[in-house]
Amino acid sequence: MSVGIFDSGLGGLTVLDAVAKRLPDVPFRYYADSANAPYGVREADDIHGLTRDAVTWLWDNGCDLVILACNTASAAGLRRMQEDGVPNGKRVLGVFVPLIEALTERQWGDNSPPREVAVQHVALFATPATVRSRAFQRELAFRAIGVDVEAQACGGVVDAIEDGDLILAEALVRSHVDALKRKMPEPEAAILGCTHYPLLQEAFQEALGPQVKVFSQADLVAASLADYLARHPNMLGEGPGGFVTTGDPRKVSDRATQFLRRQIAFSAV
């Protein structure tokens, strides 16, 4: 009865941790495409192909429902996968939806015309590929008007996190926030548009200031998934839980254990 969670590397562990706490009776199969990480510097066609291959593996191994716990994959691959056709009885969901629901304070199924929302000036921190896709702005425009979104591509942050160099990652966060503030001096809200970034949420908040509301995805995705499974209990697959990676299982296990502060053991895909 497992649910698949896919990420290009270890950032999706922030989502896994939140959903496992929210749904302790559901086993999760986590797939880290560590051999091809980071995705944020790749072209859209490449990201789509890697994402499709990983999701297909999870489907074939008993996960009827797969969560793309990767904003880059959601931005560059999700819509295309859905347009290409999803096998009968399978589903793939991205991480943008819960975030936009929270920002606009309206449910995804609300198909009324776009309207004004409380937050007017939003800073988006994301990978270069997510920023290039403009997927967040596109989805937001379906539901809200008058929102000024300033995007900052945060080059190097994911690499530093994956390498375990959090001192460098925090320094890069401060640099990227400074660059964003030169373009938008007073954002009202900030979107951490990569599932690696919650590991650095305190650094983002400190650099932005206490007056900026920081939206992080892990808890939002967990709440959304709990609601989805309550409405679609048949989407619990029959595969086992666990952790798999396309990279070096020992190295990835060590990094994952460091991030989550509990023992994590990956096996090879």
Active site residues: 70, 194
Is the Cβ–Cβ distance between 139 and 178 less than 8 Å? Answer: no
E strands in 50-143: 65-68, 91-93, 115-116, 121-126
The Cα 106–Cα 155 span in angstroms is 32
Residue carrying structure tokens 């460091």? 258
Find, among 87, 90, 84, 118, the residue nearest to 104 by Cα.
Answer: 118
Q: What are phi and psi of 190, to 5 degrees?
A: -130, 135
* Token couple for 222: 């967990």
Where b means 16+ CB within 10 Å and e means fewer, 174-208 reads ebbbeebbeebeebbbbbbbbbbbbbbbebbbebb
Task: Determine how many CB atoms are found less than 10 A away from the CB of residue 85.
Answer: 7
